[in-house]
Amino acid sequence: MMQRPLRENRCLEDRWFVVALLAALVAVVTPLEPVAGQQDGPGAMALREAAPAEWLTYGRDQAETHYSPLDRITSDNVDRLGLAWSWEIPKTGARLEATPLVSEGVMYATGPHSFVFALDARTGEKKWQWDPGIPDERQGGPSVCCGDVNRGVALYGNKVFAGLLDGRLVALNNETGLVEWVVQTTPLGQDYSITGAPRIANGNVIIGNGGAEYGVRGYVTAYDAETGDQAWRAYTVPGNPADGFENEAMRAAAETWTGEWWVVGGGGSAWDTFAYDAEANLLYVGTGNGAPWNRDIRSPGGGDNLYLSSILALDADDGELVWHYQTTPGDDWDYTATQPLMLLDLTIDGRERKVIVQAPKNGFFFVIDRLTGEFISGQPYTDALTWASGIDQQTGRPIETPEARYGTNRQGAWLSPGPFGAHNWRPMAWNPATGLVYLPAQNNQAYYEMVTDFRYTLGQWNTGTTIRGGGGPRPDRPELTGPRTLLVARDPATNTEVWRVPSQGGNGGTLSTGGNLVFWGSGTRLVAHDATTGEELWEAEVGGGTATPMTYELDGVQYVSIAAGSTSQGPRMWTFVLGGA
């Protein structure tokens, strides 16, 4: 497969080689005590069948539902939950975003700066920890858009896989934490990074990357889980036509771009979300914003700029594109489609449909046929939406408001949502008993204005847009509609809201269970709600910056765990049981 030549940047390449070498040398694994032998660990069938007692992949199942059928903790007894154990994460410097995994009584998770650890899931006692020793940006480390965060690991066989901030993918032994193999997935000297959790599909480890703000070309790569050998690579936006196109999908995408978009990479980085339908053998990928954000700079003749801000369905065998749906054509606003994807089987208008659902940054909840890419429905899920008045239910395209294209208009505008999005990285959860999706949403706004003297600068943000105050007269900020953060329960079959609960501060991801419960982080609390009505039933203080809760069962005891706590409060893994302290 053809790859675009790297930019000439010898100095940066040398710097990154030294950084990577030093990081490899100082990587520290500290097992509590070495364990002889190896366990088989979860294989393809275990991931597909998703045993209720364990949590083997980011969304518990490969459909990414964040639903557990465990029902020992219910809406009737959840008020008896208390602390079973907590473990202080000995690495700080960024908020916590990881969902821990549990297999055969061991919990695996990550902390800031790609720090990986394994705990006894019964007691919280450390089994091992592994620190890749990656310096932060001020010390020559990787340039990262939005914090030195990491969203977790993947499990397969006897290996634990983690993506690292510096673009490496590492396989660790699940018993000892020792490195089995490591591969550099991004080119040295360019501003790529990895913050998302890997996934497993067809015996391969799937990993994307970030960096669109700095000016990169997005892609997704599959590596053989046993050896680390590259199986395939799929680009998300076209490169320089003079270099040739990797496949027909890239050739078709290039027809929707103009100018010399490849100079700043184009963007489209797949920095977070994946889902896998083993029956259809389709891997679903959400892609990110353009580089620069402003379309009138990166593609001055307009165009949809495929495959930015899109859901891609790829053949899991070779990465070839099967279908795509673009949630934000010609993205001008950093309205990524990298937010969590979910695969559901629903009855819609009396017809059984296999669908994929997503609530991307742009504020609309989409229901798409996951086998064909056919648009089924799209409706707003938050209050503050001013960039578009709705989705055309015939074409599936947003109905943009006149002021939305601030670059084309050469007129800045306050638009909702802003680049933080109406929903970001925080996972949503599904409950088959209620038929509802539980979505952590937010209302926000930003002033978008095109930069008129844009020049691409390596190693710096290159958005082509200003969203901050100052720089001349502008209209007054309009009053924000709706609560800033909230939990929304939606019926995806009808694409309507059923209930909502405002948050007391920032929100985290959600978990739904067979006990008619929804857990989520709200401000500094882990909260449990009745999944049917939204009534708040229980809370526990865990500290600010809540990640995403999960649940598992050992020896007939159900546990609920969440990573939470800011740097100042001390990041911790918190685990609760009925009758705990």
- pLDDT by residue for the chain (581 residues), tens only, comes to 333 332 333 333 344 444 444 444 345 566 544 433 344 789 999 999 999 999 999 999 999 999 999 999 999 999 999 999 999 999 988 899 999 999 999 999 999 999 999 999 999 999 999 999 998 777 767 778 888 999 999 999 999 999 999 999 999 999 999 999 999 999 998 899 999 999 999 999 999 999 999 999 999 999 999 999 999 999 999 999 999 999 999 999 999 999 999 999 999 999 999 999 999 999 999 999 999 999 999 999 999 999 999 999 999 999 999 999 999 999 999 999 999 999 999 999 999 999 999 999 999 999 999 999 999 999 999 998 999 999 999 999 999 999 999 999 999 999 999 999 999 999 999 999 999 999 999 999 999 999 989 998 888 899 999 876 445 578 889 999 999 999 999 999 999 999 999 998 999 999 999 999 999 999 999 999 999 999 999 999 999 999 999 999 999 999 999 999 976 668 999 999 999 98
State the burial class of residue 453 (Cβ atoms within 10 Å of its Cβ: 0-12, 13-18, 19+): exposed
Which residues are designated catalytic? 334
Whether residue 19 contacts residue 141, with contact meaning beta carbons closer than 8 Å, is answered with yes
Longest alpha-carbon distance in the chain: 68
Q: Identify the pLDDT of residue 110.
A: 98
Q: Identify the pLDDT of residue 326.
A: 98
* Long-range Cβ contact pairs of 224-228 (< 8 A, separation 24 or more): 225/156, 225/157, 225/159, 225/161, 225/171, 225/200, 226/157, 227/181, 228/169, 228/171, 228/181, 228/182, 228/183
Whether residue 129 contacts residue 167, with contact meaning beta carbons closer than 8 Å, is answered with no
Whether residue 540 contacts residue 525, with contact meaning beta carbons closer than 8 Å, is answered with yes
- In the block, residue with structure tokens 């480390």: 141
State the burial class of residue 424 (Cβ atoms within 10 Å of its Cβ: 0-12, 13-18, 19+): buried
Q: DSSP 3-state helix, strand, coil percentages of the chain (rounded to 5)?
A: 10, 35, 55
Q: Identify the pLDDT of residue 332.
A: 97
- In the block, residue with structure tokens 């996951």: 370
Compute the radius of gyration of the chain from its Cα atoms: 22
Does an H or E element contain 67, and which? strand 67-68
Whole-angstrom distance, CA of residue 225 vs CA of residue 184:
15
Whether residue 331 contacts residue 358, with contact meaning beta carbons closer than 8 Å, is answered with no
User: Which of 63, 65, 430 minimizes the C-alpha distance to 279?
Assistant: 63
Q: What contacts 228, CB < 8 A, 6 or more positions away?
A: 169, 171, 181, 182, 183
Whether residue 357 contacts residue 367, with contact meaning beta carbons closer than 8 Å, is answered with yes
DSSP 481: P
Whole-angstrom distance, CA of residue 93 vs CA of residue 571:
10
Measured CA distances, 384 to 352, 402, 414, 417, 431 (Å): 33, 16, 11, 6, 27
Whole-angstrom distance, CA of residue 67 vs CA of residue 527:
16
Does an H or E element contain 15, and which? helix 10-26
Phi first, then psi, for residue 312 (nearest 5°) are -110, 135
223 is written with which tokens?
């590596």
Number of helices (H), then strands (E), in the chain: 5, 41
User: Which of 222, 166, 226, 231 minimizes the C-alpha distance to 198?
Assistant: 222
Q: Identify the pLDDT of residue 29.
A: 61
DSSP 5: P
Whole-angstrom distance, CA of residue 469 vs CA of residue 473:
9
Q: What contacts 214, CB < 8 A, 6 or more positions away?
A: 143, 145, 191, 291, 458, 459, 460, 461, 462
238: three-class secondary structure by DSSP: coil
Q: Identify the pLDDT of residue 2.
A: 32
Whole-angstrom distance, CA of residue 234 vs CA of residue 206:
11
Phi first, then psi, for residue 78 (nearest 5°) are -60, -20
